Chains A and B, each alone.
Chain A
Amino acid sequence: MSAQDSSFVEVVQLSKRFGAELAVREVNLAVARGEFVTLLGPSGCGKTTTLRCIAGLERPDAGEIRIDGQVVTAPEREIHFNPEDRNIGMVFQSYAVWPHMTVFDNVAYGLRVRRVNDAEMKARTNKALELVGLGHLADRYATKLSGGQRQRVALARAIAYEPKVILFDEPLSNLDAKLREQMRIELVRLQHEVGITSIYVTHDQSEALVMSDRVVVMDKGVIQQVGDPETIYARPANAFVANFIGVANLLEGRLLSRSGDVSEVEIPAGDGFAPLHLKAAGGEGASRGQKIILSLRPEDISLHLQRPEGGSAVNLMDAEVIDTVYLGNFLDCRVKVGAHEVTLQIDHFERLSPGQKVFLTFWPDHGLCLTE
């Protein structure tokens, strides 16, 4: 049964069309039992549609969805389980806490629907309320709760009847920044405590990186990359992922040679500038002369006021300061390298004035060659 465990929720070749627009295009995804997987992408990337297809709120045009070995959606075979028959829980962006019921009634709803006997229903409802720290508000009406409390009610409501999977549709995006960070940590703690399989949709990359076992990056209805947070951040599969996760400087050039794990690339620097010759990781499978994109994280670039010598002068670039932005714990600095604009992050507060000549270096394993 290990096969079933590694694909507790399985999405195969899922496609969904809204009118002429293809919202989801042949998406494949396998979520293991107890795993926390995040669908991440800009708005309109198809992540919410995929989630709503898993929930049964949307009917896909093609593909198949299995939950715990059971086929719940297969339009080609005319199989469609209604949401209520999938044994799932879902937390919505707008909380959707019912204003005409008390907190207790909201949370007990799923257990009552399942005709759990009274004593057990009360015990399990209270347990769910304790779990989210709302035991003392059980008799309150939802209209008297704050946003954060409403979100906890929605969460307790979704876990009270111990569904097979819990689906989160941007649940934190209506909360203010501070509460959002607090809820992130709490959600992860809760998920570990309950051990429930979770699929989470967000457009907030830091949320995805903090919370997930695995991140699925989507764009234009297509999965761009699937991986754990470190991999997604450090080894983005393509320019879209590199740019969407954090900030990346993307420089276009050609592969000159490869030796071991290191690729050497040539990047034209614009009219009147000598092309840059840089060494970086990645570029596997690319052939000599092929077009590549070099991705450089702002925090991986070092800035020098004097031309560095010897061993530290790796990937040396001449640059000219455009401007700097003070951001509290660090400075964002924009510089010109030839005709390219490069952003880097520096944590020392030397005065940099626009037009000043500076020097940039980065370690080859901090740069990444992408072949798209």
Chain B
Amino acid sequence: MRTEAAAVTLAGAPRSIGRWRSLFTQESIATIAVSLIVAAAVLLPLATLVVSSFRVLDDLGFSTTWGLDNYRLLFTDHVIPGAFVNTLLISTGSMVLATVLGVSLAWINARTNCPWREKLEPFNLIPFFLSPFVGAIAWHNLAAPKTGLINALARNTLGIEGHLLNVDNIYGVIWVTGIFFTPLVYLFVVGSLRRMDPSLEDSARTTGAGLLRTTLTVTLPLVAPGILSGAIIVFVTSAGEFGVPFKLGAPYGVETLTTQIFTKAVGDDANYYLGASMSMALGAITAFFIFVQQRYIAPRSFTTVTGKGFRPNVVDLGRWKWLALGLNLAFILVAVVLPIFCLVVVSLHPVWEGEIILSDITFRNYVKTLAFWRTDSISAATNGIFNSFILSFAGASIAMVLSLVVSYMIHRTKGFGSRMLDLLCVIPIGFPGIVLAMGVLVTYIKTPIYATLWILLLGYITRFFPYGQRNISSVMLAISEELDQSSRMAGASWITTLRRITIPLLKPGIFAGWLLLFIIFLRELSISIILYTSGTETLSVGVYYLANFENESLTSALSVAQTVVLLACIVIFRRMAGREALTA
């Protein structure tokens, strides 16, 4: 190692003179330009957010002074401290639930002889693509004390008084958040379980350890970094989740930081500056955990793959395999089947009161939310459909072009620019959408892009392009740099090489990334809810609008429409990209 470092220094020294000239190659000019654009997009909102959080609105709401009052309110306000505690409780609870379920399901599917495990895996992953907000709406209709389908059934068939289940509380928030984020943990763990060298476990067995001991002392510790990473991502994503606590928490007194930020950013008594300080608090928590995960946990993952092709050890569960199958089916039931079934049922009733009434069944709710050509349709819903498709299509396309250029610069060029870009691409992951959206809001509220789709597009791309970038990077790392270099040797310029060699090779990664972003944008809520105005509603904002101002049946109809589109995208995603693209 030491000699290598010395050699690099020696080789680098005489080159420093020629460095100025090398600054002006096609390649480096492009790198610097892109770095500046990305830096502006990522850093400007965050910087403005920091500055705004120190501006204190006077009592009349007209002028501001500088001060720490916004931060003082975080501790003294009659709602915010409780919201803070609730956020931590919900994040911790969801993390525990998602980790237990995610690790169990990953182990069952990757390592046991549980029946139908290969057929069930795609269904285990479906919640990853659906909207947790819609999940919360569905669970509200399933298990609200009075109007919940399950509770109504229990009253009618079991003769129970009152209710069997109640999700309109903090446990309901944890439940829905936990099951919807289970696939996150699953995806972090399943790859290393599947590709682990079986002789690592075989040697524990031959050394005298039983199956249980081998699993506890060898298998799980080897995937521990993946489990920990998955758990942290769930904690952070739950802390930034807006839809679920908005539906199941806030109306019943369970406020969280996200619902409070929303309250302060939107509405008659909006106080952007207090919202900014709450966003700072939330962002500080999430950024800290993401930093720990990226810096200390992700690099610790063990290389357990030895390059030799093998099948992983399959544990014969004996009779227990039926329990494993039961858990697997139960998860799919509560996370996919019941919610979708319930939404469809509710959407077919003019008004939902907990009872299925076959004679009442109507498609009027779909007409009112989808039939944009009719005058009696609800414009928030129909606008949302149009806007979301435009935003998703344009956003995914622009983000992938940006991702492509950024990935290329990170992996194929060297020096200051590429290292800075690499760092810039991690930053948006550290901040929840709602926090970044607050930053974008306070930055651009006085510019012409406010109240247009452009501000939403900017928010979407800034927050989510790192996902696309990672997708491309993983493919790019697998493609030998020599393929590029051969093109340069053959006399092609950098641009020509990119166009003729690099991009064609990256096509599968580009498409998988594009579709992933398309799906994310199509269901996006927590950025949209901060940045939308009348006329720029999105699909999820439409659902929010219906949930808030109309009834459950109309809400369910639009939710079903969104879910159907997302499910169609999953089918395409699996066809085109396969399982590997997901775990990358």
Contacts and interface: CB of A to CB of B under 8 A. Distances in A.
Interface of A: 55-57, 82-84, 86-90, 92-94, 96, 98-100, 109-110, 113-114, 143, 154, 157-158, 161, 167, 169
A158 B211 CA distance: 18
A158 B207 CA distance: 7
- Which 4 pairs, one residue from A and one from B, show the smallest C-beta to C-beta distance? A90-B206, A92-B199, A83-B205, A96-B199
Given A55-B206, A161-B208, 7 more contacts: A55-B202, A84-B210, A88-B206, A96-B200, A98-B222, A99-B222, A154-B203
The listed residue with most A CB atoms (<10 A of its CB), out of B202, B206, B222, B308, is B206
A113 B209 contact: yes
B316 to A, nearest CB: 10
The listed residue with most A CB atoms (<10 A of its CB), out of B203, B210, B217, B303, is B203
Nearest to B206: A90
Given A57-B202, A100-B224, A113-B213, A94 B207 contact: no
B203 A92 contact: yes
Given A99-B302, A100-B224, A110 B202 contact: no
Given A92-B199, A100-B221, A57 B302 contact: no
Contacts of A109: 204, 207, 209, 217
25 contacts: A55-B206, A57-B205, A57-B206, A83-B206, A84-B205, A84-B206, A84-B207, A87-B208, A89-B206, A90-B206, A92-B202, A94-B197, A94-B308, A96-B199, A96-B200, A98-B222, A99-B304, A100-B221, A100-B222, A109-B209, A109-B217, A113-B207, A143-B303, A161-B208, A169-B199
A96 B206 CA distance: 12
B200 A98 contact: yes
Contacts of A154: 203
B518 to A, nearest CB: 38
Contacts, number: 78
Nearest to B218: A98
B302 A157 contact: no
A110 B208 contact: yes
B306 interface: yes
Given A98-B222, A99-B302, A90 B208 contact: no
B64 to A, nearest CB: 54
Nearest to B313: A57
Nearest to B301: A99
Contacts of B302: 99-100, 143
B315 to A, nearest CB: 12
Contacts of B200: 96, 98
A235 B517 CA distance: 69
A38 B208 CA distance: 24
A90 to B, nearest CB: 4
Contacts of B202: 55, 57, 83, 90, 92, 96
A94 B203 CA distance: 11
A86 B210 CA distance: 11
Contact of A82 (B203, B210, B303): B210
A106 to B, nearest CB: 9
The listed residue with most A CB atoms (<10 A of its CB), out of B199, B218, B302, B304, is B199
Nearest to B303: A99
Given A96-B197, A100-B224, A167 B203 contact: no
A81 to B, nearest CB: 11
Interface residues of B, number: 24
A86 B303 CA distance: 30
Contact of A84 (B208, B217, B308): B208
Nearest to B211: A82
Interface string B183-209: 000000000000001011011111111
Interface string B308-327: 10000000000000000000
Nearest to A57: B202
Interface string B416-431: 0000000000000000
A157 B209 CA distance: 13
Contact of A89 (B197, B199, B207): B207
Interface in B200-241: 200, 202-211, 213, 217-218, 221-222, 224
B218 to A, nearest CB: 6
A327 B203 CA distance: 41
Nearest to B210: A84
A258 B303 CA distance: 63
A304 B477 CA distance: 60
A161 B222 contact: no
Contacts of A87: 208
A90 B224 contact: no
Contacts of B217: 109
Nearest to A90: B206
Nearest to B224: A100
Nearest to A87: B208
Contacts of B218: 98
B306 A94 contact: yes
Nearest to B304: A99
A99 B211 CA distance: 19
B461 to A, nearest CB: 39
Contacts of B303: 99, 143
A69 to B, nearest CB: 20
The listed residue with most B CB atoms (<10 A of its CB), out of A83, A86, A114, A169, is A83
Given A57-B205, A99-B303, A93 B224 contact: no
B369 to A, nearest CB: 53
Contacts of A100: 221-222, 224, 302
A143 B200 CA distance: 14
B403 to A, nearest CB: 32
A157 B308 CA distance: 23
B213 to A, nearest CB: 7
B222 A157 contact: no
Nearest to B197: A94
A157 B207 contact: yes
Interface in B447-502: none
Contacts of B203: 90, 92, 96, 154, 157-158
A161 B203 CA distance: 13
A157 B208 CA distance: 11
A83 B202 CA distance: 8
Contacts of B213: 113
B567 to A, nearest CB: 36
A99 B204 CA distance: 13
Interface string B522-545: 000000000000000000000000
B35 to A, nearest CB: 34
Contact of B207 (A82, A99, A110, A169): A110
A139 B204 CA distance: 20
A114 B208 CA distance: 7
Nearest to B310: A94
B528 to A, nearest CB: 43
A154 B202 CA distance: 12
Contacts of B224: 100
Nearest to B204: A109
Contacts of A90: 202-203, 206-207
A51 B66 CA distance: 77
Interface in B262-311: 302-304, 306, 308
Contacts of B222: 98-100
B15 to A, nearest CB: 33
Contacts of B210: 82, 84
A260 B567 CA distance: 84
A93 B203 CA distance: 11
Given A94-B308, A98-B218, A100-B221, A84 B209 contact: yes
The listed residue with most A CB atoms (<10 A of its CB), out of B197, B205, B218, is B205
Contacts of A143: 302-303
Contacts of A89: 206-207
